[in-house]
Amino acid sequence: MTRVAVVGGGQLARMLAPAATAMGVTLRVLIESGRASAALAAHETVVGLPGDADAVRQLLADPRPDVLTWEHEHIPSTVFDLAAEWRVPTRPGREALLFARDKIAMRERLGHMGLPMPAWRAVETEDDVEAFLSVHGSVGVLKRARGGYDGKGVRIVRSPAQADDWLSAAAAGGPALLIEDRVAYTRELAIQVARRPSGEIRAWPLVESVQRDGVCAEVIAPAPGLSPTVQAEAESIARRIADTVDVTGVLAVELFEVGGRLLVNELAMRPHNCGHWSIEGSVTSQFEQHLRAVLDWPLGDTAALAPVTVMANVLGGSRTVLESAWPHVIDPGAKVHLYGKGVRPGRKVGHVTVMGQQVDDVRGRAAQTAAVVRDGGQS
């Protein structure tokens, strides 16, 4: 029996499970608690944090997994050491994962590769911030190099004083900081590719991701009104990154489109929110493909199954009803995914996918069902 071990018990690990079941693969997941999103979905679970060596040993124990992979990038080096000791391959590997975990390492590496990205610099002091702002229009995007998600760890700054608390935290041993030019982009795009150790790579269609309050609200696949050259450019950027840093598994490259040009925002080396549409919308979902890729099995077809697929996230609200909303889900074509997570305002607790012919119609339907799931359609 083929067995894949995963560190992290959130919705990404949860959504790997049905793909694993269909493929005849056993999924063993290291979950943070018995109430983690992946707890009920995974075939085998071990409760513990990635920093807990005993828990990681249980994750690697007999019957030994064929490969160890991740649903997030915050993996301590002890996990890689233990996996090496137990001779379980880690995919993506330690070196590759660094570029998804640390935004400074990522920007440096992309710079060496000559890829387009916003102007940036690492900052340690108010003077560093001042120096950057003085040549970049007095506004910048301050970022924590590690540990951010859903826009936490990203802040617009117009003066060095607005960076004070994070600078002090960094000086006290907290996450290092970088500042970037605030890009006046036309829209945000994302490209996903999967790469297996033997080198085969497949790319999905380029998608548009719509952010609200720093969080992904909607993904439209493929991105409307794309020129073939932009798809080709995005694909070539993602393929170069995947090959150069030796990515195994799924890679997402978040991009800014600026007047027909692309700039790289950031990387993720795991299934990603920008690829949830592929569960229904593509011949091969990102979850199935991630398993195929880390197992070094032949990759599946990434073609879209409909002219348009839209994924709308369900973000927690004050009256979020989730499961009890089911009787009100009346659009028979809307596919609802709930993550089994506790509701907090703004937290991603599920998503809705709709496929169809016309972007506006499909977007409207996805948003409507997401609103029904969020608060029974009362808002």
Ligand X SMILES: Nc1ncnc2c1ncn2[C@@H]1O[C@H](COP(=O)(O)OP(=O)(O)OP(=O)(O)O)[C@@H](O)[C@H]1O
Of the candidates 221, 232, 222, the residue with the CA atom closest to the CA atom of residue 260: 232
Q: What type of residue sits at position 62?
A: D
Of the candidates 74, 153, 155, 101, the residue with the CA atom closest to the CA atom of residue 267: 101
Nearest residue (CB) to ligand X, 151 versus 175: 151
> Which of the choices ligand X, Mg ion, none does residue 141 contact, using the CB cut-off of 5 to 8 A by kind?
ligand X
Contact 299, 293 (CB under 8 A): yes
Structure tokens at 38: 């992946």
> Shortest Cβ distance from residue 266 to Mg ion (Å)?
5
Pairing assessment for the beta strands 2-7 and 67-70 based on DSSP bridges? parallel
> Residue count at the site for ligand X (CB under 6 A)?
20
Contacting residue, 109, 182, 187, 240, with ligand X by CB under 6 A? 182
Nearest residue (CB) to ligand X, 188 versus 288: 188
Residue 118 interacting with ligand X (CB under 6 A):
yes
Annotate 251-265 with b (16+ C-beta within 10 A) or e (fewer).
bbbbbbbeeeebbbb
What string marks each residue from 164 to 203 as x (binds Mg ion by CB under 5 A) or -? ----------------------------------------
Residue 178 neighbours by CB distance under 10 Å: 22
Nearest residue (CB) to ligand X, 9 versus 118: 118
Contacting residue, 71, 73, 128, 180, with ligand X by CB under 6 A? 180
Residue 174 C-beta-side C-alpha neighbours within 13 Å: 16
Structure tokens at 152: 């936490």
Residue 154 interacting with ligand X (CB under 6 A):
yes
Tell me the window of 34-42, 64-72, 122-130, 144-152 that interacts with ligand X (CB under 6 A): 144-152
Binding site for ligand X (CB under 6 A): 118, 141, 143, 148-154, 180-183, 188, 211, 214, 254, 265-266
Contacts to Mg ion by CB under 5 A: 254, 266
